[in-house]
Structure 1
Amino acid sequence: MELRDIEIFLVLAEELHFSRTAERLHVSAARVSQAIKKQERAIGGDLFVRDTRNVRLTPLGERLHRDLRAGYQLIEDGIQGAKAGARDAEAGLTVGVIGPQAHDLIPVTTAFRARHAECGLTFREVGFIEPLAPLRAGEVDLQTYWFHSDDEGLREMIASEPDLTFGPVVITEPKVLMTAAAHPLAQRVSVSMEDLGDYALVGFEGLDSVPDYWVRIHSPSHTPGGRPIPRGHTFGNWEETMATVAASRSVCLVSAEAIRYYPRRPGISFVPLHDAPRGRWGLIWRTDRETPMARAYVQVAQDIGPRHFDLN
């Protein structure tokens, strides 16, 4: 029995009228009659009683209607789901990343492309100064974002951004201290967070576009022992930050990715922080703009798990 003939039977079972069925399906009444007769011959029994006044299902027809209706709906749902998936894939997926993190996400991206080869995947860099602006403007579908190192701090972040969904952690790595190559700390094997009390720390102070919790994480006001940390320049982007650090005695807390991607920057050194908590990067997206392809990318990230980097 062909799918079109099944559709004709189901619609006629609802309409109980050959002409209305034909109009609804945009076929001729003769095509409807032909399809029903074909089905009755194949089954070996009448499906409808036809007389001059009305059309009604026979007991055999009622049973067939019950059995076919659920199966046909599953087929329709599957077809519509496939069409929606094709539209979503054609629309593509844009992932926002901070700095060079597209390279760190290669395992997730490779697996995603293997599962969803039809989806056009692109990356867009997101700046530190306005880290959520592209996401909220709809310019990216999801993005990497700095997650607090402990769960209590992460809960505060989530509460501060009620319109966003915080997904899986994708990267963990140590924090390091970026200094000028000639800085007194640059020759140390490692330094402590307590050492920050003796040097000006470059940060985000005064920038309304940077969330307060980011300022506290990346530019703390006090050492763990309670000493105030002097303030250095407020920076606007990564290049400005490195230039400021290289030309002064200011220092800056950064992720260890800086060592992986900027190891030979003239005038810059990176010193391990032996008592700083590991940093975590995760995926976030606007809750009201969650797309199937974004969900698929997040699912791949969950399946693979976070990528852990160390200094060695």
Structure 2
Amino acid sequence: MERRDIEIFLTLAEELHFGRTAERLHVSTARVSQTVKTLERRIGTLLFERTSRRVVLTPIGRRLEEDLRPAYQQIHDGIARAVAAGRGLDGVLRVGFVGTAIGQLVLEIANVFHARHPRCRVQIRESHYSDGVGLLAADEVDVLVAAADTRHIRDLDQSPVLLREPSVLAVSARHPLARRESVTLDDLARAKVLCPRGLPDEVDEVAVPAATPGGVVIERGPDFGTVQEMLALVGAGQGVFPVPAHAARYDSRPDVVYLPIRDGLPFEWRLIWRAAVTTNRIRAFSEAARHYLTAGVNPLLER
């Protein structure tokens, strides 16, 4: 098996989705499909069960993944260390984040990064909703951890999705919705939805659509610039706002209730940076993040 074939197989075993695997490895979906078919012909059995709805490993596929992953990771780490030594990866990487939980996640990734590149130091910087991507534009951070898709924003580049988590709706404990076990996007029409300052319109509309699936316009409430401002407004009954599921653990308040959004889009965390200044440090930090999150467990939810 070629190294690229192993990489495609292991990534698909982790993602269980042909499209996401292709996006992450910067190859076509057809290339992923053809590689898997070639491996299955060579081995003589199916490695994945495929239907129109899902992809799962077969027992033989899972055993192959368990056998290959440690050896592949050892090779990958060895090459990474050699490249870092040859390129002299050192200096400081400035990483921005929003929220306490993401700050902890960044520090854990930084530990993996520093173990691989001991001469390079990670400096963290808390960002706010009102900062948007301004810290990148102002050259105050080199890379930003954000739950946003910026592919259509000029001059920005981004990593593949590092982490996905469900969305929940932050509502006042006194709001009628708080008595529900869950909500849908149609329920957003029953309350004002807060407006984050600083986010580009195309990013904000991904988090909060202009209308419900039923076509009802979603009324917007007061704006906010920080997580704490948002929670204060929600707790005071000034509006609601969709947040990642980890908020129920890290931002617990007696005046705020978090309700699962059954048809809500997941929050997808990526690294974002200025395309013109892509560096070896950014690439190495992205690799460290993917290595730390390889197990497929969301550390923000599983602790």
Whether TM exceeds 0.5 here: the answer is yes
Larger radius of gyration: 1
CA offset digits 1:213-263 (Å, max 9, x no partner): 122122322101111112211122222211111112521111112112112
TM-score (norm 1): 0.63
Matches within 5 A, 1:1-312: 85=88, 88-89=89-90, 91-100=91-100, 101-148=102-149, 157-161=150-154, 163-204=155-196, 207=197, 209-248=198-237, 250-263=239-252, 265-304=253-292, 305=294, 308=298
2:119 counterpart SS class? coil
Paired AA for residue 93 in structure 2? L
Over 3 Å counting, the alpha-carbon distance change for 1:266 and 1:278 in structure 2 is same
2:162 counterpart SS class? strand
Distance in 2 (alpha carbons) for counterparts of 1:94 and 1:130: 15
2:170 counterpart SS class? strand
CA contact (8 A) 2:170 2:241 kept: yes
Distance in 1 (alpha carbons) for counterparts of 2:86 and 2:182: 56
**Partner of residue 66, structure 1:** none
TM-score (norm 2): 0.65
Q: CA deviation at 1:107?
A: 4.6
Distance in 1 (alpha carbons) for counterparts of 2:185 and 2:116: 43
1:295 counterpart SS class? helix
Q: CA deviation at 1:159?
A: 2.4
Over 3 Å counting, the alpha-carbon distance change for 1:171 and 1:106 in structure 2 is farther
**Partner of residue 81, structure 2:** none
CA contact (8 A) 1:146 1:279 kept: yes
CA contact (8 A) 2:183 2:262 kept: yes
**Partner of residue 36, structure 2:** none
Structure 1 unaligned regions, length at least 5 = 1-80, 149-156
RMSD: 2.6
Paired AA for residue 297 in structure 1? F
Runs (4 or more) in structure 1 with deviation over 3 Å come to 81-84, 302-312
CA offset digits 1:105-147 (Å, max 9, x no partner): 4553232121112221121111112221111221111111223
**Partner of residue 59, structure 2:** none
Distance in 2 (alpha carbons) for counterparts of 1:297 and 1:268: 35
Between 1:295-304 and 1:217-226, the stretch displaced more is: 295-304
Distance in 2 (alpha carbons) for counterparts of 1:105 and 1:287: 21
2:218 counterpart SS class? coil
